Amino acid sequence: MKKSLVLIAVALTLCSCDKYLNQYPHNAVSSDNLTEEDAELLMVGAYNIAQYKPTFNGWAMFDIIGGDMIRPGATSTNTPALVVQGAIAPDNSMVSGPWNGYYAGLYQINNFINSVEKIPDSARKKEMLGVGHFFRGLYYYNLVTRWREVPIVTGPITEDVGQSDEKTCWEFVESEFKLAASQAPDFSTKNYVSKDAAKALLARTYLAMGKKAEAAALAEELITCGRFSLAPFNEIFRGVANREEIFSFANLLEEGSYNIGSYYYTKESPVGGSYTFCPTQEAMDMFEHIDKRRTVSVDIQGSNNVLNKYCQGDAGHDPIYIARLGEMYLISAEAQGLALGIDRLNQLRNYRGLPSVSPATESAFLDAVLKERRLELFGEGFRWFDLVRTGKYEQVVGVDKKYTVFPIPSRELTLNKELKQNPLWVASQSDDENE
């Protein structure tokens, strides 16, 4: 029984990405007579697919199109705006790959949640459901930040499903992380989902929703709980035990199929790399020499600028960092505003070796927080959405408004007749046809 469940779970992770919104019930793992031990094995599969199914583009896209990265050696992509225009398109795999990956993950996690709900009640059952809701919240957070309006699917379906509006999608993400925060296990290690990990992502979600009081409260709870503390970057990003990471995927060689660091390191580095993306010179220069994050965040290999947080290149797999305490300081600062948030901002800056700042207005304070987020979270998948959610993306990167939202992949529109293209992209396509 257990061996067959593992084989089925593996098969699900390898099945075709075609039309994940429309999977028939007989494709799901049978939940009849499922034991708690069987459910544990299915949960291993849920961790596995959550790491690699979004693809590299799913994890790195916000950095690639956030204005701080370019493709080296190509004149067609040697500015951030050109990178954005080439990457965000209805037929580009950088858009369709993550869409397929998220819904592939949702197919498995929905099956996991629905199966676990049928086993006898126990404390462990509750914890496993908490893990399931965490992953479902994470998938939908990634979907709504990119596409705003997406289909909400919580079980097997046999017909096309249209999008829910953006407000409903955000409320669903909020509800999933709330369930996870109440049901997931207590914190044990950074590589296992916990109540604290759910609270961190719920704080992130509240900030995006404009629920600043709630965001600040959760961020402060994690800052002051005593389980976490700020740590030097050479501990966080070089595999040293630390108390800053709240949740990270280990991304072990046997669990994943890609090397994050390979995309950023050069072939001339000691560990090799494909050097697909590199920081702009402006991004390199934004780190002051007194900033303790600088040498771990960026480096020069030969004459090439590199993102240095993922240091294993072709030689191994780097972790995928999901939530850590440095972000909570910045969420608390932004959510509380100038009067109450300035202390948290300066505490983080001082710990990283930088002097305190004293912005005079709320607008200047937000700019200071965004600048610090850019430094602190560089290469960790935040920059694009930070600029989008604060209304600064078009001006900072120099692109059209349509690039503040991802287009629905063209193939999905063909497969699912209930899906509608985002109006910004419909208008853009009409303009192109009229030219």
Which residues, 6 or more positions from 286, have their beta carbon under 8 angstroms from its beta carbon? 371, 374, 375
Q: What is the pLDDT of residue 3?
A: 36
Query: Structure pTM?
Result: 0.92
Span(s) in the chain for CATH 1.25.40.890 = 1-184+405-435
Q: What is the pLDDT of residue 76?
A: 73
Cβ 406 vs Cβ 146: under 8 Å: yes
Q: What is the mean pLDDT of each run of 10 residues along the chain (435 residues)?
A: 38 41 41 84 93 93 97 84 96 96 96 96 97 98 98 91 97 98 98 98 99 98 98 97 97 78 95 96 98 98 96 94 98 98 98 98 98 98 98 97 98 96 85 52
* Residue type (1 letter), 179: L
Q: What is the pLDDT of residue 16?
A: 36
Cβ 294 vs Cβ 279: under 8 Å: no
Q: What is the pLDDT of residue 429?
A: 65
Just give the CATH number of 1-184+405-435. Answer: 1.25.40.890
* CA angle in degrees (0–180, nearest 5) for 40-131-139: 120
Q: What is the pLDDT of residue 257?
A: 65
Q: What is the pLDDT of residue 432?
A: 56
Can you name the residues that pair with 306 across neighbouring β-strands? 299
Phi-psi region of 288 (alpha: psi -120 to 50; beta: other; left: phi over 0): beta
CA-to-CA dists, residue 83 to 69, 242, 335, 398, 400, angstroms = 8, 35, 31, 11, 13
Cβ 388 vs Cβ 410: under 8 Å: no
Can you name the residues that pair with 305 across neighbouring β-strands? 300
Which residues, 6 or more positions from 130, have their beta carbon under 8 angstroms from its beta carbon? 179, 180, 181, 182, 183, 184, 185, 193, 195, 198
